[in-house]
Structure formats: structure tokens, C-alpha cells
Structure 1
């Protein structure tokens, strides 16, 4: 299917989830992430803050856990492109014009090496190609990262369909975490 069709289809599927279903599925994704990657104190993780009106994966449980485990947490903020702001338990957030909760701070950490970059998406295929909201923020962000930063998508849905219109500038994910499994897209090299 084409990205536009997949974007529409999976946005509708996500919106059809009740808030309780989305919460329970997010918990399963969180557990699968923790069990597979086993993040530890001192690591650096970039993680999106969910847009609740779009029923995104509840990454607030990830953020709370990471902060409790002394893992350094960075979240995206839209400035001139996407910047990474390091957050702490007392960080103040505000809602931007797109309904996204972001830190009040505009201070870009300048960090480009993260152990994990937990990435929002609407759909991901079996090759790690993702469909987001179509703004291109994450593809540009991925280009700025060190090659050792693991790009991890999280999704309620399994990768059952092929994305037919992958562009040469699209950067695939390294992993996808769903409610039932963790898929690796590395070709034997990690």
C-alpha cells in the first residue's frame, strides 16, 4: 500500500482503540521493550511524548521508569526542525499548537548519540520502513544521529503490509516493538 493509504488506515485503527485498550497495549509494548533491551543507569534514551488525542503509545510509563532508573531522558521539541531537550523529574512542559506536550526549555542538548531513540509512527513494515505523520521531522533527525544510536519504533499493530512508496531519503528503523514481539531489521550486523 502507499504511505497515504497506510497513514489513513492505521490512524483510524488507532482511533478505534478505547483509552483503556490503548493503555493496556502500551503496557505490553513497554514490558517488551524493557525485557528485550534491558536499559541501564547512565544510558541516554530519546523518547517521544505521546499525543493523547491521536491515541499514541503511552510513553509516559517509559519516561517515568527511565527517570527512576537514572537513565538520561531526552524528548523532542519542534524548533527549527526537531531538537532534543534533556528532561528531569521537575521539567516543566507546555502544549504546543499541534497538541504535543513539550518542555518549556528551548535548550537543544546537542546530543547526537543515544543508546535508543524511541520513535513514533503510524505503521512500520517488515523491513523497518515507517509511516509517520508525513512531516519528515524524524527522517531529518535520524540523519543527525550517530550510527550507533538504535532507532526503535513502537506500535500496536504488526507489520503485515508492504510500504510501496519508500523514498531514497527515508531512513528505516532498526527495531520495532509491538504488543507481542520485538523485530530486528539489522541484516546480520549489529
Structure 2
């Protein structure tokens, strides 16, 4: 299937999740995330969920990291829709979050981190395939952002659903994940 077909299908699958299913699946994603080796990780870039789109509730992972790995710096994206770019801001006392015009919780002020400092990125997605490629919302924010990071940055996808066999229209700009976490399994590529 193409990205456009998968995007439509998986947006629909997400909207059909009940609140109980959504909460349970997000908790299972946290349990799977807890199995990752974080010993070399100093900075994690985490997206904040758009709950109305039923994105995985990354606040569970973020809170777990804060409680169990306070040495790890957590940063959040601020998007520039005019240029399809992102900046990263540290989760600290100076951070101020507000919902953007697209109803995305984002930093409006705080301390910025350079992309080269990031060791791991939690990458949002709608679907992924057995080769580690993902389907996002189609704007290419994360693919562009990843090119600005170190080559050894760990790309971790979070998906409520198992992989499709293949995404038919992968191109040279698509960046493969190294890991994708589902409620039932951690896929490594």
C-alpha cells in the first residue's frame, strides 16, 4: 500500500480505539519502552501527543524517564509550519508549553538544544513496515529534522499497531527507524 492509503487506514483505526483501549495500549508501550537500554542516552527528543488524534500517550514515558532516569535530558519539538522545520526545547523550569494553532502542545519559550546533542528521538507515526520505514502525517518534519542530528541518533517509533509488510512508495528522503515499539513487541531493524 502507498503512504496515502496507509495514512487513511491507520487514522481510521486510531479513531476507532475506545478510551480504555487507548489508555491500555499507551501503558503497554511504556512497559515495552522500559526494556530499552538507556545507559548511553543523555538526551531524548519526545513528541507530545495530540490526544484527539489518539497519538500514543508519550507523557507516560516522559514521566517514567523523569522519575527513573533524571540524568536524561528530555526535549520537545517546536514546529515551524512555514518552513517544515523543528527546534528542540529542554523540559526544565523555563519551559512554557501552549497548544499551537494545530492543537499540538509545543514550547513557546525555554532553553533550546542543538540537534547534535540528541541521542534518541521518539518518532511519531501512523504505520510502519517490516523494514523500519514509517508513515507520518505527510509533511516530512521528522525526516528533515533527523538529517540535522548525529548519524548515530537512535530512532524509536511508537505504534499501537503491528507493521505492514511494506510501504510501496518509500523514497530517498525517508529515514528508517532502528526500533519500533508496539504494545506487544519491540521490533529492531
Q: Same fold (TM over 0.5)?
A: yes
- Structure 1: which 5+ runs fail to align? 186-190
> Is there any run of 5+ residues in structure 2 with no aligned partner, and where?
none
SS at match of 2:101: coil
Q: Which residue of 2 aligns with 1:76?
A: 77
Shift of the 2–38 alpha-carbon distance from structure 1 to 2, 3 Å rule, reads same
4+ residue segments displaced more than 3 Å: none
User: How many Å separate the matches in 1 of 2:120 and 2:59?
Assistant: 16
1:142 is the counterpart of 2:142: no
SS at match of 1:104: strand
Instruction: Summarize the Cα distance change of 1:174–1:42 in structure 2 as closer, same or farther, 3 Å threshold.
Output: closer
CA deviations over 1:20-77 (Å, ceiling 9, x no partner): 2111101101110111x14359721111000111000000011112222212101111
Q: Which residue of structure 2 lines up, in the alignment, with residue 39 of structure 1?
A: 38
Computed over aligned residues only, the root mean square deviation of the Cα atoms, in angstroms, reads 1.7
C-alpha contact 1:155 1:176 (8 A) present in aligned 2: yes
Q: Scaled by the length of structure 2, what TM-score is found? A: 0.91
Cα offset, 1:82, TM superposition: 0.8
Preserved CA contact (<8 Å) 1:113 1:149: no
CA distance in 2, matches of 1:133, 1:42: 27
Quote the residue 2:16 is aligned against.
16
Equivalence for 2:178: 174
- Give the alignment's TM-score, normalised by structure 1: 0.91
